Amino acid sequence: MADSKEIFDRLKKDHDKHRELLDKLLETSGESEKREALFEELTRELKSHAAAEEQALYSTMLRKPPTTGDTRHSVAEHHEIEEALNDLAATDMSEGGWLTKFKTFDHDYRHHIDEEEEDHFPEFAKHLTEEDMEHMRSVFERRKQEEKAEAEITPEKKEDAKE
């Protein structure tokens, strides 16, 4: 078994940064510049992280039968996370409904990363080769930087927000 600690530590480091941004966002109120800036940063971080994680880790794990179920589950959650972020971006931040939605998102996202760290990563680690690790290292950082540069913050118009 390859030493996969490094790639998972790298992913966890991102998750810790995400938790920090979520905490800071929960302390904001109304349509403040601070809330907008933090939400933009969170969106860029999450979208670039998810894309890089999928290309580096999940594309690798999909080729290993014992882990395809967990992998599909996580990828499906990534799509839900992206939809929730887009919906939040389309929701008026000055309304109380934004914080309510954000709290639901916060709960769901923390559940997702806890599940990855506690269940999926240790399980995935058992199936990785040195070659897999090399591939993941090279792909992850590059893809994350590319995605971060291109991440859309408000892909939807305000009237598209879900009620």
C-alpha separations of 76 from 91, 123, 138 in Å: 23, 18, 24
- Non-local CB neighbours of 111 within 8 Å, separated by 6+ positions: none
pLDDT the model gives residue 156: 53
Residue 100 CA to its chain's centroid (Å): 20
Question: If the chain, 163 residues long, is cut into consecutive pieces of 10 residues, what is the mean pLDDT of each piece?
Answer: 77 97 94 93 94 94 94 95 95 91 97 96 93 90 84 59 62
pLDDT computed for residue 155 by the predictor: 52
**Global model pTM greater than 0.85:** yes
What pLDDT is stored for residue 158 in this prediction? 56
- 39 vs 25: CA distance, rounded Å: 7
